[in-house]
Amino acid sequence: MKSAVLRVLSVCAIAMMGMVGSLSASHSWSGYHWARTENPFRLKVGDNVSAVWKPYLAVAISDWSASDVLDLDADAGGTRAKNCRPTSGRIEVCSASYGNNGWLGIAQIWISGSVHITQATTRLNDYYFAQTRYNTPSWRQFVTCQEVGHDFGLDHQDEDFDNPNLGSCMDYTSDPVTNQHPNAHDYAQLKTIYAHLDNVTTVGASTLPSPGMGQRDSDNPAQWGQLVRSAAGGRIEVYELDFGRGDKMVTHVLWAEGRGDAR
């Protein structure tokens, strides 16, 4: 009897160790973060989306603002949706039919000093969201939530499309019905990313360290620079365009399934 009890306790201990390992896993995106001098910090999100996208953007803004370290404020868009130019010190979210280029959504961040985000954009490609597979509330919410999450430094919790859902929009899935919002691990990771304070702020900043950084944004993969990471059989890719002296544009891409030779 004692041996059986010990075996049960051992199994429980192993399970608990697995849970602890899971909770302590990191999905920070290379340490990228907005520089700021206090927490929580307020970050404006420009609304450049069409009427069909507005409810999904509103939910994403509300969800991420539940974090202890940041508050997102919806603001009038500062750019035209089609070209989706970045605005220093904030996020611009855009929707348009960007064409048969292969991607569902992209998040682009501009980095100064190797890690500090100075501006960011999210683009949602109506070309694919007009198609039956992706024209659903769950796909629209999932992609909106995830791409905005990248814009303040989060990466994915899991990149296997066939694994069971984790209940997080930062978890890749082939069926996002239960992956439309952040979960507790996403909020914990944000607290880790933003645990320290900086001596300067890039939030709401009006100038950039490199003049060229404000002009280099594109929905064309040929303009994204070097491919630095590929996962999930190429469905997930990260590109870097290096401006030198620690300045760069980084593009996180979610490719549509069966994109073929769209790239």
How do residues 222-259 score in pLDDT, each as one tens digit?
Answer: 889 999 999 888 888 999 999 988 899 999 999 998 65
Which range (53-57, 80-84, 170-174) has the least confidence? 80-84
Position 79 scores a pLDDT of 87
Answer yes or no: is pLDDT of 197 > 90: yes
Distance CA 68, CA 167 (A): 20
Q: How confident is the model at residue 80 (pLDDT cuts 50, 70, 90)?
A: confident
Position 32 scores a pLDDT of 97
Give me the mean pLDDT over the 44-65 stretch.
Answer: 98
pLDDT top residue among 186 and 6: 186
CA distances from 262 to 116, 140, 144, 222, 257 (A): 32, 21, 22, 12, 11
CATH superfamily of this structure's domain 28-255: Collagenase (Catalytic Domain) (3.40.390.10)
Using a pLDDT cut of 70, give the percent of the chain over it.
84
Q: How confident is the model at residue 22 (pLDDT cuts 50, 70, 90)?
A: very low
Position 212 scores a pLDDT of 62
Answer yes or no: is pLDDT of 164 > 50: yes
Q: CA Rg, the chain, in Å? A: 19
Phi, psi at 128, each rounded to 5°: -90, -35
Give me the mean pLDDT over the 96-111 stretch.
Answer: 94
**Strand locations in 12-69, DSSP E?**
33-34, 41-48
Answer yes or no: is pLDDT of 208 > 90: no
Give me the mean pLDDT over the 53-71 stretch.
Answer: 98
26, 188 Cβ separation under 8 angstroms: no
Residue 156, C-beta contacts closer than 8 angstroms, at least 6 positions apart = 27, 146, 170, 171, 172, 236
Mean residue pLDDT across the chain: 86
Residue 12, C-beta contacts closer than 8 angstroms, at least 6 positions apart = none
Provide the whole-model pTM: 0.86
